[in-house]
Structure 1
């Protein structure tokens, strides 16, 4: 290794960002990567299924990559693997805890990726990745088997503290390994990367165990079906729902590909304890009286095409709900996803279902993320020289920075990058590096593309509509037809006639036949200009030239 070359930390999912988690740790000769997540697109990109990190930075560095280390099994940390592993040559090893490895293994089976890439690693077991040594430290979160990472480098230790909270009564999880965290602090931590998503919240996040009594209240004395929706990886929540259903003499059916898959993996690996004779096939549960039915369903984030969304639209092939049935949202909207969730709540409510969600009962979900006191506790235990908030938006990073300042860190030791490399020098100094040219990368129907012209056109159609300008050339005359689609309010015939008249005074048949490519561009610009002038809309214009 060249000891003049710094350690570089490169956030390929963008920063600040809640989703698409992917952090590259790079030396002169070695790279390892923490997590490989996905996200959901905003409403301005219709038709896109999901987003993944932009790995352009890695394309000429694949030979340096020693492996992935994965912190936990949430989709925003593992959902990108099926798309990114093939892009990187398909031969990079992955190191993960037992449950996380189980979730990844099921994805790889679905996408026909080599399962031998996946390695299960025990707690505190050293993973040697070139010059980097990485150890996993157990913490608690909303999915079991979550880990923090202690990363040893020649220039100082880094503590990668991804999503966590300190839960002293966890459901189906180990207690946080406080001893190993404080030992890391005693050995010296140069840089702490820390979850910051709930830095705005005072005090401590509630224990997962507190949800069980709230679920009991909603199940007790209910005469109709009870439907519970939560994150499909929230195994601890599903465990409590099973216990409550059993006490209330209800059979349980799991509905939805992701939740059925995750329940299967968690039960096989011992992270979910399913009481005997409790679970019934979803195709048979309808034969039971309604007060003996409980459905646990995927789709709590309002995802298009999810099982709950199909039920709300009446498109599900197996499950149909009746007026009065109770639907419990045991999750909060992911930041940025609120509109999708409320849209689904409205759709369900329109069918006279009793929908219980956060604004009605805020005790049916607890966050898996640390609140301000827990974040300060992690700073106190690790004693870092520098801190870098992760996994939040800019406002979350700002609030975390205020907490770090309270803990005595100087302002220039509290890093707030915006799509920038973080550099650890051989001297132990940490500073900002260059800006990254990170594009949004979209997956649609299995195809991957970066956000350039095709998506710009789609956004334009989504926001402004489209106009087809069909021009027919007959000898030395022009016929013009304008066909507007998706413009609101609809364009009147008088306005279309006026625009057509102005265009026919501008365009000449000889010019169009002489240079069709130039003419199409000119037609598009003129049509756009006239629509902006007449109705204030700038639609995407598709010119078609027909010679008769």
Structure 2
């Protein structure tokens, strides 16, 4: 009897961080190993990766990591696992090349070499499981869906995909291969849900190119293109449009330089002319009418870089009168406020803004019709929506009901949920939970930032800090000097003298009370000061600053002898 478990370790009820474990008997097959970029409330956090505890505890059972494409939401977490657990990694040529860039940039994983290049014709035999692949259309070449053929049926994971009938050969979906997979039993379909709420057809890549070309043709000044470094399809369109309109391209970020050079080397990006790319140091040799700056920002995030350009803080570019900022990426709903703020800053600097998303519905992900077409080609017994927030997973589930999949056969998993196959009843069912969640990366720290630290950061950002410094002589049970109080980001000291004086009296009273106590304890003293000040300051200001008591001890008799 075959033991089969499906575990969502990331990528469900959230955007990004895709990671799914398919357990068959003693082997674990991991589909994607991604990260996500933090929301605004995760102050100071660089990236977020899945909790890797379950995989670390079962590393000896992992047959391999299988990557669907080369975006950060599918490959970004690799360095944090491969350094200690060097399991084989499989992906298409470009996906592996980008995964190598990710691991080589991290000192923990730069020695890892166990990469295996596969394509849509590859079949990998792992005994009772074989893994095969099929071409899909996404915003990056080499995107692959994958099929895990088990004794109880096929498990199909789509990865990021959409259907585009006008896609170039490099990006075309292999519809006949997908239909052929559907001729055999598909037990479960793990399907991309990121664009499941959209019912209208998204714009074709040809329509998007025409839009970019028109913008380049009719703008007379400098153009700053903001995009995602790993969106190879969009970068190719920008290159083509620049060449067609007599412009040169300047790459302004290290991320985009590495990715573009890698894609050119592997022939996934084609330069229309040899002199199209101009180095940043030679940018001044170009007139505004022949200049296109391609900006992706750190880790592919262009908005913060655009804000720096608009406020003269960017290392290379300052937005000025006559500049067009052309936003070619579709941002998530969570980023809409930041987008509006960025646009405002650009207009204040004298530039203007044009965004593809304002006029065209562009996405690298399947809409409702595409999702239903995939279901009808594969005929899955069970549908498992993945890759999206809950409302998107639910929209995909409803699309499944419309094509005839019973509601009882559709699961919307949470992080760590286990779906198991019952060999006797021949059904898939919810069977428990494993530890799963977020691991936050801050600088070189991995997982050392928790809810308490984030709470303190939020308090510091919103209400500031209040420091009380007191010097005591514990043997004489007295305060040597009056408390010194300082605040940053809380109140302006010079205009809040009454508040500061009353706070000082409260600190004096609290410290003296602890000194008079027969069972003196340093921890109790600091906590009492913290509690009393917290209550008092909130009553007076309705704010809760981080309170930091600093208690110093001296022995006055010893000081006099010295």
Report TM bin, short chain. Answer: over 0.9
The correspondence of residues 102-501 of structure 1 with structure 2, limited to 5 A, is 102-112=97-107, 113-114=110-111, 116-129=113-126, 131-171=128-168, 173-276=170-273, 277-299=275-297, 303=301, 307-357=305-355, 361-363=358-360, 366-419=362-415, 420-427=417-424, 428-449=426-447, 451-474=450-473, 475-478=476-479, 479-487=482-490, 492-501=496-505
Following TM superposition, by how much is the alpha carbon of 1:396 offset from its aligned partner in structure 2, in angstroms? 0.7
Match of 2:531 in 1: 525
Contact map agreement 2:311 2:318 (CA 8 A) in 1: no
Match of 1:58 in 2: 55
Contact map agreement 2:510 2:528 (CA 8 A) in 1: no
Following TM superposition, by how much is the alpha carbon of 1:341 offset from its aligned partner in structure 2, in angstroms? 3.2
Q: Secondary structure at the match of 2:470?
A: strand
Following TM superposition, by how much is the alpha carbon of 1:302 offset from its aligned partner in structure 2, in angstroms? 8.6
Please say if 1:542 is aligned against 2:545.
no
**Distance in 1 between the 2:519 and 2:219 partners?**
74
**Distance in 1 between the 2:459 and 2:419 partners?**
36
Q: Secondary structure at the match of 2:453?
A: helix
Relative to 1, partners in 2 of residues 1:124 and 1:511: Cα closer, same or farther, differing over 3 Å? farther
**Distance in 1 between the 2:67 and 2:194 partners?**
19
Contact map agreement 2:228 2:301 (CA 8 A) in 1: no
Relative to 1, partners in 2 of residues 1:305 and 1:411: Cα closer, same or farther, differing over 3 Å? closer
**Distance in 2 between the 1:436 and 1:205 partners?**
37
| Higher Rg of the two aligned structures | 2
Gaps of 5+ in 1: none
Contact map agreement 1:132 1:151 (CA 8 A) in 2: yes
Q: TM-score, normalised by structure 2?
A: 0.90
Following TM superposition, by how much is the alpha carbon of 1:426 offset from its aligned partner in structure 2, in angstroms? 2.8
Contact map agreement 2:53 2:435 (CA 8 A) in 1: no
Gaps of 5+ in 2: 555-562
Contact map agreement 1:165 1:205 (CA 8 A) in 2: no
Relative to 1, partners in 2 of residues 1:403 and 1:531: Cα closer, same or farther, differing over 3 Å? same
Following TM superposition, by how much is the alpha carbon of 1:504 offset from its aligned partner in structure 2, in angstroms? 3.3
Relative to 1, partners in 2 of residues 1:439 and 1:500: Cα closer, same or farther, differing over 3 Å? farther
Following TM superposition, by how much is the alpha carbon of 1:140 offset from its aligned partner in structure 2, in angstroms? 0.1
My pick for the range that moved more, 519-528 or 471-480, is 471-480
Relative to 1, partners in 2 of residues 1:285 and 1:502: Cα closer, same or farther, differing over 3 Å? closer
Q: Secondary structure at the match of 2:537?
A: helix
**Distance in 2 between the 1:519 and 1:14 partners?**
46
**Distance in 1 between the 2:73 and 2:282 partners?**
33
Q: Alpha-carbon deviations, 1:348-401, whole Å to 9, x = none? A: 222111121257x323x7101111111111111111111111111111111111
Contact map agreement 1:301 1:333 (CA 8 A) in 2: no
Contact map agreement 1:227 1:326 (CA 8 A) in 2: yes
**Distance in 2 between the 1:13 and 1:484 partners?**
41
**Distance in 2 between the 1:79 and 1:371 partners?**
25
Relative to 1, partners in 2 of residues 1:498 and 1:302: Cα closer, same or farther, differing over 3 Å? farther
Contact map agreement 1:465 1:484 (CA 8 A) in 2: yes
RMSD over aligned Cα, in angstroms? 2.4
Number of aligned residue pairs: 541
Q: TM-score, normalised by structure 1?
A: 0.92
Following TM superposition, by how much is the alpha carbon of 1:171 offset from its aligned partner in structure 2, in angstroms? 4.2
Relative to 1, partners in 2 of residues 1:100 and 1:261: Cα closer, same or farther, differing over 3 Å? same
My pick for the range that moved more, 108-117 or 224-233, is 108-117
Q: Secondary structure at the match of 2:381?
A: strand
Match of 1:93 among 85, 88, 91: 88
Q: Alpha-carbon deviations, 1:200-239, whole Å to 9, x = none? A: 1114322112111111221113221111111111111111
Following TM superposition, by how much is the alpha carbon of 1:119 offset from its aligned partner in structure 2, in angstroms? 0.8
Following TM superposition, by how much is the alpha carbon of 1:303 offset from its aligned partner in structure 2, in angstroms? 3.8
My pick for the range that moved more, 493-502 or 380-389, is 493-502
Following TM superposition, by how much is the alpha carbon of 1:174 offset from its aligned partner in structure 2, in angstroms? 3.6
**Distance in 2 between the 1:440 and 1:283 partners?**
40
Q: Secondary structure at the match of 1:336?
A: helix
**Distance in 2 between the 1:528 and 1:539 partners?**
8
Q: Secondary structure at the match of 1:111?
A: coil
Following TM superposition, by how much is the alpha carbon of 1:172 offset from its aligned partner in structure 2, in angstroms? 6.0
My pick for the range that moved more, 21-30 or 176-185, is 21-30
The correspondence of residues 6-85 of structure 1 with structure 2, limited to 5 A, is 6-13=3-10, 15-85=12-82
Following TM superposition, by how much is the alpha carbon of 1:183 offset from its aligned partner in structure 2, in angstroms? 1.2
